[in-house]
Structure 1
């Protein structure tokens, strides 16, 4: 009870709790698309490439999150363009953008005059640093995500599972691909403060993977993954509060243990049936 009482009492904790909710909804919904379309490696490439935007923003004295957003969106669109145009294999393009973004970020940070900034909050997250403006930004992104999936549910569904079939139905596959890549990039950047660049790929994928073990239809997986991501983030925040360890790492640990348990449950059930 002390934890919930202090959430209501302290602004930084209430901001952290709100960030868990907003980030969980976004990562759960967008992560479902990422997992179903098998773009986990793509999300990792976009996540790490955003570090280049952070480094450049520090060098030019701009907002690091704005730099991360611009770099992530450009990287996502670039990967989509390369893969669609068949100029280079998609996995090669992702690996190139992944390493290039990290290299650019490191170079510009070391070129920045004075002391190098503390990058731990970007690499591993710092949910207690979430501000009111961050929450407003997260709320706008969540609204956009829910609106896109509600208004264009069927086209997104078809593109996620079978782009060839979607094209045969005269759907704008390329436009949807670019739009969803940009949406993945925006979701990634808004979640950096919660779990950090290093662990973010897990928050995007693990809740959706857990949801696919429970539900089979895309429409049911979406809200279930969002609920799992939100509960995992809250659990990570509570563990962080009780044990004084990083919230992002706690969140991913909880989600990973949950996935293991969910994967083992069918095995135990089948063994009992065989024994019976």
Structure 2
């Protein structure tokens, strides 16, 4: 443990990893709660996989891949909600199409990129130890936007989450709130890609809120606890992966899921008593 603390002060990449863990925990705690409450888990997975097309585009155009991921994530999230509203196609079908389209475009872009094929494993499976200053700046900006807008529209969002029809009746612009939430989901996906990767985004968005709901039903408290749990899982997973020299993204998710199972069993046993 002391060695780890010394390494944090010595190595910039560990400092970047801890900062990114904080930013990731904030956004996954807030948006993850909304995703769980509104049952948008599969949508989040679809947006995450669609973002892979943007990563491939970034390599092909020689721009920062995470910027390409942000563009694709926003486009796919707006595309899903727009098509869902204007057609009778099942939402899962639309999500599935964007899911595979994004992955396919990413593969095509990468195959067309000149030179040696880039290493995309950190984007697919996450590597918190490779987070750059550019990634941190983008995380900070996206976190600030999300936190500011959630605070400003909290009552409207809470009303929308629990009763969409009633919210519409009392004059809340439901369509605007829905587009805003889908935009925030795209933001959260992009923030988490560098931490746990495209394949594991869903877990970090859903496990902390799921654990929080074991202790409270208050929306604010669930968000707050989710941020704390997300940070704990990220830092503990980072510590374990650093000490054992194993994949950081996968380690964070294993720690989170195992914690959920243990706490679920513990709370069930307490209720029996």
TM-score with structure 1 length normalisation? 0.95
Q: Secondary structure at the match of 2:197?
A: helix
For 1:161 and 1:46, the matched residues in 2 are separated by 23
Contact map agreement 2:66 2:135 (CA 8 A) in 1: no
What residue is the counterpart of 2:193 in the other structure? Answer: 192
- 1:141 is the counterpart of 2:136: no
Give the drift of 1:113. Answer: 2.2
What residue is the counterpart of 1:38 in the other structure? Answer: 39
What residue is the counterpart of 1:130 in the other structure? Answer: 131
Contact map agreement 2:30 2:223 (CA 8 A) in 1: yes
Give the drift of 1:158. Answer: 1.5
Contact map agreement 2:214 2:267 (CA 8 A) in 1: no
What residue is the counterpart of 2:18 in the other structure? Answer: 17
For 1:91 and 1:118, the matched residues in 2 are separated by 31
TM-score with structure 2 length normalisation? 0.96
What residue is the counterpart of 1:121 in the other structure? Answer: 122
What residue is the counterpart of 1:233 in the other structure? Answer: 234
Contact map agreement 1:49 1:71 (CA 8 A) in 2: yes
Contact map agreement 1:82 1:89 (CA 8 A) in 2: no
What residue is the counterpart of 2:59 in the other structure? Answer: 58
For 1:73 and 1:270, the matched residues in 2 are separated by 43
Contact map agreement 2:127 2:196 (CA 8 A) in 1: yes
Which moved further from structure 2: 155-164 or 234-243? 155-164
For 1:70 and 1:42, the matched residues in 2 are separated by 17
Between Structure 1 and Structure 2, how many residues are aligned? 272
What residue is the counterpart of 2:182 in the other structure? Answer: 181
What residue is the counterpart of 1:247 in the other structure? Answer: 248
- 1:94 is the counterpart of 2:69: no
What residue is the counterpart of 1:260 in the other structure? Answer: 261
For 1:109 and 1:124, the matched residues in 2 are separated by 17
**Unaligned 5+ residue runs, structure 2?**
none
Per-residue CA deviation, residues 189-246 of structure 1 (Å, 9 max, x unaligned), is 1221111111111111111111111111111101110111011000100001111111
**Unaligned 5+ residue runs, structure 1?**
none
What residue is the counterpart of 1:77 in the other structure? Answer: 78
